[in-house]
């Protein structure tokens, strides 16, 4: 029996269905790769902690993820779609993002909302993981989870509404451009973390009465290095979530401008390799070298769609070479960022935005009538997002400090957080050896490393 030839309308429907399925599959696997970021942060922070604190470092990462998913469902997604114009919500524009809306659940006519919501949840969880490492070994689990919810389901997504949403005021009014989320994820999380670290204070033994510092060494350098490499692997999913797959197979950046995965591949790898080399040259330290690769990616993230690849290499190298010096500067002022989170994410994201204002100024941006990319827009946007992160991070943690709920008591810190917060021991057969006592005096730090720093993340 002869099969009927499909009509043009039927062919168009088949093509549309194929494009929809391809889009869903693409973001599904981006989400899976983004989960690897959290496996990496978990591994890195466990390795960066002493034996007595190893499990706590991992458990708080997992719990932060668990709490951010439902809170982002109930109000985080609504913030993104309702606050692109500023602090006054667009109730009509955000109506479809309310938790009881038809798009916020199984709906065979809506193949996009759930998959994009899930990608944004992973971005949100990444901000909490950025903060997590800086606070290891002395922060209350409950305090960290509250701060993670505020940052992941509130603060960063407000910044994303302003700077990432196609109608965000930083983009439409100032010409802001940040396709890889150097600002709304990394800078916001880094500056929020700085505010919290200033209030939580240094770990016992980190600084001496005369102002000199001691290096507190984690229990497993190999675990930390592997964790950092997993973060890099996961970032290919992260950056995949920053690109839009449209009907007809056309890729656009987050703002709707045409781009390609090829552009992202060139500049991601060039920034990564430049960052590895830059941090290694200034420290000769393997942990900063690996974090330098991450800094390289973060610093070129604003212009992944338009940079000339050798320029991305140079930017990644330069910012990564400077980041350890920023970390050293903070240490000399008594700020104990245990893994260099601010230097990597806060400084890396901020510097990347400012530099993009120099190198990609003049490119058209988003819709007709919006300003082109420009130095003042990029720098001003960086300042706005840094302030949006630092101000709530500092004042909310200051309130927690005043209430006595931010930090564990000194006796609990000395005993180890695994016993008082989990409670369990990661390596009970080693506990009797005293191997968790891994503070190193400044005079014992290996030459060519930065005095008073632990492994960055």
User: Which pLDDT score, from 0 to 100, does residue 15 have?
Assistant: 58
Q: Are residues 125 and 237 in contact, defined by beta-carbon separation less than 8 angstroms?
A: no
Tell me the Ramachandran region of residue 89: left when phi exceeds 0, alpha when psi lies from -120 to 50, beta otherwise.
Answer: beta
Give whole-number Cα distances, 404 to 105, 243, 339, 418, in Å.
Answer: 40, 43, 24, 20
The reported pLDDT for the residue numbered 147 is: 98
387-421 exposure pattern, b = at least 16 Cβ within 10 A, e = fewer: ebbbebbbebbeebbeeeebbbeeeebeebbbbbb
Query: What is the predicted pLDDT for the residue at 442?
Result: 44
Domains located in the chain, CATH noted: 11-444 (1.10.3430.10)
- Which pTM does this prediction carry? 0.91
Largest CA distance in the chain: 93
Model pLDDT, residue 424: 82
Along the chain (457 residues), what's the average pLDDT of each consecutive run of 10 residues?
A: 64 64 87 94 93 92 95 96 89 89 89 91 95 95 97 96 91 93 96 98 92 88 91 93 78 88 96 97 92 96 96 98 96 94 97 97 78 95 98 98 96 91 78 49 42 44
Provide the pLDDT for residue 453.
44
């Amino acid at each position: 029996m002869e099969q009927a030839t499909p009509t043009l309308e039927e062919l168009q429907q088949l093509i549309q269905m194929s494009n929809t399925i391809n889009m869903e599959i693409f973001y599904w696997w981006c989400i899976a790769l983004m989960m690897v970021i959290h496996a990496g942060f978990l591994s890195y922070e466990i390795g960066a902690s002493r034996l007595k604190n190893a499990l706590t470092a991992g458990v708080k990462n997992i719990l932060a993820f668990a709490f951010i998913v439902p809170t982002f469902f109930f109000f985080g997604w609504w913030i993104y779609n309702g606050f692109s114009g500023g602090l006054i919500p667009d109730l009509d524009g955000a109506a479809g993002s309310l938790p009881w809306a038809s798009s916020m659940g199984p709906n065979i006519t809506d193949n996009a909302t759930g998959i994009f919501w899930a990608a944004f949840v992973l971005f949100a969880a990444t901000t909490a993981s950025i903060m997590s490492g800086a606070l290891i070994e002395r922060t209350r689990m409950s305090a960290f989870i509250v701060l993670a919810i505020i940052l992941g389901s509130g603060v960063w997504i407000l910044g994303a509404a302003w700077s990432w949403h196609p109608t965000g005021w930083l983009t439409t009014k100032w010409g802001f451009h940040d396709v890889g989320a150097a600002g709304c994820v990394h800078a916001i999380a880094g500056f929020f973390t700085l505010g919290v670290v200033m209030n939580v204070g240094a770990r016992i033994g980190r600084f001496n009465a005369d102002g000199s510092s001691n290096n507190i060494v984690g229990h497993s350098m190999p675990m930390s290095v592997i964790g950092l490499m997993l973060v890099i692997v996961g970032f290919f999913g992260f950056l995949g979530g920053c690109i839009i797959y449209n009907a007809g197979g056309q890729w656009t950046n987050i703002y709707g401008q045409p781009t390609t995965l090829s552009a992202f591949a060139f500049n991601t790898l060039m920034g990564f390799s430049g960052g590895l080399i830059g941090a290694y040259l200034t420290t000769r330290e393997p942990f900063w070298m690996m974090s330098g690769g991450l800094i390289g990616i973060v610093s070129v993230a604003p212009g992944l769609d338009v940079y000339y690849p050798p320029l991305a290499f140079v930017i990644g190298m330069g910012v990564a070479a400077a980041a350890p010096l920023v970390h050293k500067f903070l240490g000399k002022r008594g700020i104990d960022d245990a893994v260099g989170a601010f230097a990597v994410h806060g400084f890396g994201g901020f510097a990347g935005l400012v530099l993009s204002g120099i190198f990609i100024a003049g490119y058209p941006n988003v819709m007709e009538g919006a300003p082109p990319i420009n130095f003042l827009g990029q720098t001003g946007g960086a300042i706005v997002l840094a302030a949006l992160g630092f101000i709530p991070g500092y004042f909310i943690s200051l309130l927690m400090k005043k209430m006595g709920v931010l930090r564990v008591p000194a006796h609990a810190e000395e005993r180890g957080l695994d016993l008082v917060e989990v409670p369990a021991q990661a390596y009970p057969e080693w506990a009797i050896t005293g191997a968790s006592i891994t503070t190193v005096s400044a005079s014992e730090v290996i030459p060519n490393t930065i005095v008073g720093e632990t492994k960055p993340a």
